[in-house]
Structure 1
Amino acid sequence: MLQQTLSERDRSLGERLYKIHEEIRANFPDLCRIAVALYDHETDILKTFAHSTDGISPISFYQAKLSEAHSLQEIAKTNQTRIIDDLTTQESQKAHSTKLLESGYKSSMTMPIIFNDHLYGFLFFNSPKKNFFSDIRCATIKAYAGVISLLVVNEMQTLTTFRGAVQTAREFSRQRDEETGNHLERMSRYAHLIALELAPKYKKADDWVEYIFQFTPLHDVGKVAVPDEILLKPGRLTDDEYDVMKTHVQKGGQIISLMRREFGLDSVNFFDMLNNIVLYHHEALDGSGYPYGLKGDEIPLESRICAVADIFDALTSKRPYKNAWSNGDTMQWLLDNAGERLDTECVQALNKHMDEVRKIQAEFEEDFIG
């Protein structure tokens, strides 16, 4: 069954993790949880990504700085496995530790996911039994852990390859475009904040939130096809010029489809999400957007999230033709347009996390052109 699971490239990593967990539990039924957390080197953030849990997951939509988790730092540094035979004896008051205990887990095994000296994240195994992770059990579980780690690394490397291909194309236009790399870093993190807030209501999983973060920087890739005299025009565009500018949406869809095919990236999960972000992030709830004039729920949720994140950063960023708006003025504009052009829940979600927004702005400051 394991070989079949590995070959099911059309399944998400979470779905394949569940299949592997089933196979392990055939021998060790008290292994009740396997979870994957990914590490973002840019921000030192460790965040939940996928899990297979007997019952309700105790930890979802959670993130924390690796620098504040000293035991995990040590695991990553030494590339060793950590086993805790009795979680009730641990003094940690961290939220994730408390949640594990409240869910009845008594023992744990943690392993880093490292490939070519690069830390991708961590694997967590839990049982409601104390002293569950004996030498014999560990040997078997570690073999499966190697397979799971390989799946995670392959998933992330495939995604990195795709993002790299698209961003390489985008880089050609960045030298002649007002949008900088930091704009993309900021708006993708704003989108991540919104997605984290909305995911539980829409019954989305952690990996959906992660792909929002990964894919939103690619929303305007079609601008590589916009002529310089329009893309770089410092003043207001004429109606005809604006019509040309709007074609970047369809051009973007064509570009990612071409790259997906030419780079052999059919295994990229959530490709429909990327397609939605590229094609529909300029749509508006009242139908006044482009290119398709979609209304309300016709616009995919990820597209509505991207629109709010993108507009917030565009308004708060300095451009050659305008000064930056304050966060307060920008948020007020978003609130004024919520329910009309913009999704109200998305706007409110971002407004709820303005402290995190300011931290993102401080970490990814604008350069001289924005």
Structure 2
Amino acid sequence: MGTAHAPSFVTADDPWVGLNGGLEAQLAGLHREIRAKPELATIDRIAVAVHDSASGRLRTFVESNIGSRPFDRFSDRLELHPTLAAVATTGIPFINNAIGGDPAGGDGLNDRLRSLGLRSRYIVRIHRSGTLYGFIFFNSGRPGFFTEATVAALTPYRRLIDVLVVGTLTSQRTMLAAVRSALQVSHYRNEETGAHLDRMSRYAELIAQTLAARYLLSDEFVEYVLQYAPLHDIGKVAVPDHILLKRGKLLPEEYEVMKTHVAKGVEIIDAMIHDHGLEALPYRDLLRNVVAHHHECYDGSGYPHGLAGEAISLEGRIVAVADVFDALTSQRPYKEAWSNDTAAAFLRAQAGRRFDPACVEALLADPEAIRDIQQRFRETPGGFGLAALRHRAAQAAAC
């Protein structure tokens, strides 16, 4: 895994669990400050979950705990959680000062909180101009903790966390919007469909979630893999039409030009960060690595730098597997879709050569999740651009 953003966990004997850098590190610092106040000393957990308006799903994002994390890598539809849905709709915070067991047919969240000794909770939404960004959760091991007085003492910190989260997500979304605008302008000359980008980013998220325990990855890291994966091929906007749109096989010298889309992509990302004043963009190195490393091969035969093994960033290795799997299992003007089993056999045959074996197995470990992604993000008629699209066909043979 690349070292630019490697998880910086505290030692095993430190009670502060889950410090991964970025917003999570800021949240942990605030948590320490909050607990230094006698009236707030038993706030044992602060967490933020983000809401994905495109899918209607709620995902754990960052948190700071005394003890274990109750909901690592949790993702579910908001509509399945009536309490949270009510907070989202009304804006009225929710307080439960006597967390009990879940009723029959409940979602199991109360049971998990109780199992870790948490007895009180306070939930507020993060909301701006009609947009739900997510929720902030405060938990205490003391029953009856969230009184009018403790909520008032907590309010300045709650507002600061709200501002930090919105600022972080806004800068992320500004970057995504800028890059996607460039992709949209050039859509007619780019073979990637919107559905392809949706699927491959969810495959990347699935791989990252599966590898999280092995690599000590935070939910924050997984979230940014999901958000930044679709930007991997931004550099194709700089490839000349006579090469990108060529219908026949590329000549060797043309293929060399095609490969420059990786370096061009990094240049475009750096320029957009500078032009939009996003030098503080969260996980900026992760974004650059997604663009820079998605054509590197595990055995060192890829491009542009011929990196091998863990010299390739983890996010680059993840996106390489996610991108090729979706390309193989999708119908394109130049080919029929492969079955999931056939594509899985190809990935396994190339594991250790083109692909990181751990990333391959992480994706293929959950066939049902793959089918769910394919069902949710199906191609729509007429979804292809006007490009010749032969480059993707050649990718399976590259490396």
Measured against the shorter chain, the TM-score band is: over 0.9
Q: Tell me, in whole angstroms, the C-alpha distance in 1 between the residues paired with 2:194 and 2:349.
A: 29
Q: Deviations over 1:282-302 (max 9, x none)?
A: 000111111111111111110
Tell me how far 1:90 sits from its aligned partner: 4.8
Contiguous gaps of at least 5 residues in structure 1: 1-10
Q: Report whether the alignment pairs 1:138 with 2:151.
A: yes
Q: Tell me, in whole angstroms, the C-alpha distance in 1 between the residues paired with 2:335 and 2:245.
A: 13
Q: Tell me, in whole angstroms, the C-alpha distance in 2 between the residues paired with 1:239 and 1:354.
A: 38
Q: Tell me, in whole angstroms, the C-alpha distance in 1 between the residues paired with 2:242 and 2:47.
A: 50
Q: Report whether the alignment pairs 1:17 with 2:27.
A: yes
Tell me how far 1:233 sits from its aligned partner: 2.3
Q: Deviations over 1:67-113 (max 9, x none)?
A: 11111111110001100011125527424332211111011111111
Please state whether the residue corresponding to 2:92 is helix, strand or coil: coil
Q: Deviations over 1:305-340 (max 9, x none)?
A: 000000011111222222221111111111111122
User: Paired residue for 1:63, among 49, 66, 75?
Assistant: 75
Higher mean C-alpha displacement, 319-328 vs 229-238: 229-238
Tell me how far 1:242 sits from its aligned partner: 1.1
Tell me how far 1:361 sits from its aligned partner: 1.4
Please name the residue that 2:207 is paired with: 194
User: Paired residue for 1:291, among 304, 307, 318?
Assistant: 304
Tell me how far 1:237 sits from its aligned partner: 1.9
Q: Deviations over 1:142-189 (max 9, x none)?
A: 331111111111111110001111111122222112111111111111
Q: Report whether the alignment pairs 1:124 with 2:137.
A: yes
Residues 183-262 of structure 1 aligned to structure 2 (within 5 Å):
183-262=196-275
Q: Report whether the alignment pairs 1:54 with 2:66.
A: yes
Contact 1:235 1:321 in 2 (8 A): no
TM-score under structure 2 normalisation? Answer: 0.88
Residues 153-168 of structure 1 aligned to structure 2 (within 5 Å):
153-168=166-181
Q: Tell me, in whole angstroms, the C-alpha distance in 2 between the residues paired with 1:307 and 1:278.
A: 10
Higher relative contact order (CA 8 A, sep 6+): 2
Contact 2:81 2:107 in 1 (8 A): no
TM-score under structure 1 normalisation? Answer: 0.94
Q: Tell me, in whole angstroms, the C-alpha distance in 1 between the residues paired with 2:50 and 2:57.
A: 8
Q: Tell me, in whole angstroms, the C-alpha distance in 1 between the residues paired with 2:190 and 2:199.
A: 17
Residues 300-319 of structure 1 aligned to structure 2 (within 5 Å):
300-319=313-332
Tell me how far 1:56 sits from its aligned partner: 2.2
Contiguous gaps of at least 5 residues in structure 2: 1-20, 385-399
Q: Report whether the alignment pairs 1:172 with 2:182.
A: no
Identity of aligned residues (%): 44
User: Paired residue for 1:352, among 348, 365, 380?
Assistant: 365
Contact 1:319 1:369 in 2 (8 A): no
Q: Tell me, in whole angstroms, the C-alpha distance in 1 between the residues paired with 2:206 and 2:186.
A: 27
Please name the residue that 1:8 is paired with: none
Q: Which residue identity lines up with residue 98 of structure 2 in the other structure?
A: D
Aligned-pair RMSD on alpha carbons?
A: 1.3
Tell me how far 1:346 sits from its aligned partner: 0.7
Tell me how far 1:234 sits from its aligned partner: 3.0
Tell me how far 1:48 sits from its aligned partner: 0.5
Please state whether the residue corresponding to 1:88 is helix, strand or coil: coil
Contact 1:318 1:369 in 2 (8 A): no
Contact 2:194 2:383 in 1 (8 A): no
Contact 2:124 2:135 in 1 (8 A): yes
Q: Report whether the alignment pairs 1:87 with 2:113.
A: no
Aligned residues: 360
Q: Which residue identity lines up with residue 221 of structure 2 in the other structure?
A: W
Spell out structure 1 runs of 4+ moving beyond 6 A: none
